[in-house]
Each structure stands twice: as structure tokens, then as C-alpha cells.
Amino acid sequence: MVNTHFLNATLRLKYVDGYDEQNEPTFITKSYRNVNNTHHADDLVAVAHAIASLSSQTLSSIVKQETHELS
């Protein structure tokens, strides 16, 4: 059986930055590191929306990226 050990997590918020010549959206991403693994997805979404409300750009997506050590 494989054991996993949580190392770290990053919360990534992707915003619509504008539109290119073909009217396709362009994006920027803001990353927030050192996210604790005990937080529930609902809590992270609430925090992401609170952070996004401070921006003039439209929030496009929220991603939690985790890193685990496998042994």
C-alpha cells in the first residue's frame, strides 16, 4: 500500500484580463501558496470570491493544487 504525505497546496485564481484580436479572452493567474490541507473546498471558494471581489477583473476559475510525497 502506498503512503502519502501532504507537502503543500496552492490556491490559483484565474481572471479574465481582456480580449485579443479574435475576441478570445486572455487570462492572468494569481497564486496563493502555503494553503493548509485542513480547509474544506467550500471555505476556499468563499475566500477566493472574497479576494476576487477586491479586483476589477472577472474571476474565471479557482484551482487548488496539492503536492504529496508518495512512499
From first to last of its 71 residues, the chain has per-residue pLDDT tens of: 899 999 999 999 999 999 999 999 999 999 999 999 899 999 999 999 999 999 999 999 999 999 999 99
Give the pLDDT of residue 21: 96
Note whether residue 44 is domain-resident: yes
Structural domain contains residue 42: yes
CA distance 58 to 8: 27
Per-residue confidence (pLDDT) for residue 12, from 0 to 100:
98
CA quadruple 53, 46, 61, 6: dihedral sign: positive
Domain that holds residue 41: 4-66
- The SS3 of residue 41 is helix
Is 71 part of any domain? no
Looking at the 3D structure of the chain, how many domains does it have?
1
